[in-house]
Amino acid sequence: MPKCSIITRVFLATAMLAPVAVADTQVKIIAFNDFHGNLFSAGNVADVPVGGVDVFAAYVDKLRAQNPYNVVVSAGDLIGASPLVSALFHDEPTIEVMNRLRLEFNAVGNHEFDEGTDELLRMQHGGCHPDDANTCQGAIVGTPVPFEGAQFGFLAANVVNEQTGDTLFPAYGTKAFGDHEIAFIGLTLEGTPNVVLAEGIRTLQFKDEAETINALVPEIRARGIEAIVVLIHEGGLRPTAFGEYNTCLDDIMSSDLVMPIAEIVAQLDDAVDLVITGHSPVAYNCRIPNSVGRLIPVTHAQGAASVVTDIDVLIDDASGDIVDITLKNVLVVQDESVMPVPDITRLIHAYSDLAQPLADRVIGVMSAAVTRSNDASNGQSDAGNMVADAQLAATQSPETGGAQLALMNSGGVRANMSAELYPGYITYGAIYSMQPFGNSLVTMTYTARQLKDVLEQQFPGCLGRRQRTILQVSAGFSYQFDESAPECNRIVEMSLNGTRLVQAGELLDADLPIRVTINNFIADGGDGFSTLGVGTDRLAGVLDIDALERYLERFSDGDSAYNPDADSLGKPRVLSLPLAQ
């Protein structure tokens, strides 16, 4: 927090004609978040090809070269929900690449817990996976065997062992720059237990973020450190404006759906100087009021190494505190002027070669292509039906959730399974391309009225919806809508396994409880489905990719090939009433 302004000090120095210039310390912080194992480019941002971790590493090197006082930090979800080339090897490739990129601190995100605590500890400390021979491939790719573990520090101030009260990883890390140190406090999403499997985090407690930060401030200051930066895996969800990676929309703090991070910052001790965030699908560069109303910088790069945050902080030599911060989000553009870092290029290609045969592993057989192109009238696709059916199957038994139906966001179905590409065979690579996000399934109870509300929120004008966003539904559930009806009154029929729930627009038993499976993305308000947030008796389930694999294993030979046109599957589940004659 500023104790005296730089301008004043410079002015005084000049006025006194002091022979020695004021030597405040400038530090460059290079930040990113939500890398999610994207060793190769995840695509375009604002129509420009971005990312590829070897290109990203070149950007980091370029920034690092601007100031010998520098530090590279990550705000979580470094691993987990990764593309196949990292996921197949339990994200060892990502850790190895980050070691070579010289990452220094990573606040643990929710996805770091996807494979449970023991596996996360292995990511830090090294060693081979206990029962997957795909790991520890160093002899082939040219890295140490056993797996070396992260040479950077995982941080998790608010994740504690229930029995001992100890944090799973250090609460904060420090780095010295000349005579000064900066403390980096790392936190994960308090809501992590809602989005990962309970089994993997059984002994852990996830504590309130702001309380945890504030409680650490006296300890850090007692060590003589005034410069305090928070790395937190929590952010804001901006339903629109993708591609505006270096702005802070005015409405970012006003909508109900956005900015849980704003609530956290509003409680923060004024000693915290900067908040580097993660977990949001979009980048932002904001200033948000803290507990005394001072605006502090709150940043979020776009994930998958497509944006890096370039931050310059000025430390006052007298107080040791940060007195000025300038920052910008920089697009990691692939162009000819940027030379990818060769060692990293070589490493990721070695893993990619190794992954190929595993990607070609056959899961099942299909009799026709399964496409994700939505029917213009009812918004349904064959691939959407298949994914929803797989999610229902994985959560139908009482132990796995007792689900009666599944709803899937259309945008989460990422690729077709094409008969040309995979003649008859469904490969692991193909289903991974279709479901690459590593979302986990959750089953919750909704009343029939709440379920109808969810369906109503698909259509423009209802509960903040701007454009039609139709969910994919599992077999056995069907409904009919009339787009010409008034907003929030468009569902005219709805039935579940032959039981009518809505007739002529009227609910027949509004309080009837129904178990519904969705993925954690839409459960948390993704795609604008705030109505899905009201579910109760939440049970976390398996990863979406595992659900799809298990489902398609049933279609194992030519006689039982998966056929998207089969009567039981292809029958329209959603009907659009013809527009007014």
For CA atoms 158, 163, 168, 174, the dihedral sign is positive
Q: From the CB of 235, what's the least distance to Zn ion, in Å?
A: 8
Nearer to Zn ion, 61 or 208 (CB): 208
Bridge partners of residue 409, in order along the sequence:
471
For residue 130, whether the previous peptide bond is cis, meaning omega lies within 30 degrees of 0, is no
Determine the residue with CB nearest Zn ion.
Answer: 279
Contact partners, residue 422, CB within 8 Å, separation at least 6: 366, 430
The CA distances from residue 439 to 250, 365, 368, 524, in Å, are: 30, 24, 26, 11
Our finding on whether 36 is near Zn ion (CB under 5 A) is no
Q: From the CB of 36, what's the least distance to Zn ion, in Å?
A: 9
Q: Binding marks (x or -) toward Zn ion, 92..111, rule CB under 5 A?
A: -----------------xx-
Q: From the CB of 421, what's the least distance to Zn ion, in Å?
A: 31
Contact assessment for residue 301 and residue 33, using Cβ atoms and an 8 Å cutoff: yes
Q: From the CB of 192, what's the least distance to Zn ion, in Å?
A: 8
| CA 44/CA 456 separation, integer angstroms | 32
Q: From the CB of 280, what's the least distance to Zn ion, in Å?
A: 8
Nearer to Zn ion, 230 or 403 (CB): 230
Nearer to Zn ion, 279 or 490 (CB): 279
Q: From the CB of 231, what's the least distance to Zn ion, in Å?
A: 13
Binding piece for Zn ion, criterion CB under 5 A, among 75-83, 147-155, 241-249, 370-378: 75-83
Nearer to Zn ion, 108 or 516 (CB): 108
| CA 406/CA 297 separation, integer angstroms | 40
Q: From the CB of 111, what's the least distance to Zn ion, in Å?
A: 5
CB-CB neighbours of 425 under 10 Å: 17
- Residue numbers 261-290 binding Zn ion by CB under 5 A: 279
**Secondary structure of residue 99 in the 3-state scheme:** helix
Nearer to Zn ion, 79 or 516 (CB): 79
Binding piece for Zn ion, criterion CB under 5 A, among 74-82, 155-163, 250-258, 280-288: 74-82
Query: Beta strand pairing status for 440-447 and 405-409?
Result: unpaired
Q: What DSSP state is assigned to residue 573?
A: S
Q: What DSSP state is assigned to residue 301?
A: -
Q: From the CB of 72, what's the least distance to Zn ion, in Å?
A: 19
Q: From the CB of 191, what's the least distance to Zn ion, in Å?
A: 10
Contact partners, residue 456, CB within 8 Å, separation at least 6: 462, 463, 487, 488, 489, 490, 491, 531
Q: Binding marks (x or -) toward Zn ion, 227..266, rule CB under 5 A?
A: ----------------------------------------
Please pick, from the candidates 27, 37, 77, 321, the single residue that binds Zn ion as defined by CB under 5 A: 77
Size of the residue set binding Zn ion (CB under 5 A): 4
Nearer to Zn ion, 193 or 320 (CB): 193
Tell me the residue type at 101: L
Nearer to Zn ion, 51 or 76 (CB): 76
Nearer to Zn ion, 153 or 303 (CB): 303
The CA distances from residue 324 to 276, 411, 536, in Å, are: 16, 41, 46
Nearer to Zn ion, 59 or 437 (CB): 437
Nearer to Zn ion, 79 or 406 (CB): 79
For CA atoms 455, 457, 460, 462, the dihedral sign is positive
Q: From the CB of 109, what's the least distance to Zn ion, in Å?
A: 5
Bridge partners of residue 205, in order along the sequence:
160
Contact assessment for residue 28 and residue 312, using Cβ atoms and an 8 Å cutoff: yes
Q: Give alpha helix (H) positions in 231-296.
A: 260-265
* Binding site residues, Zn ion, CB under 5 A: 77, 109-110, 279
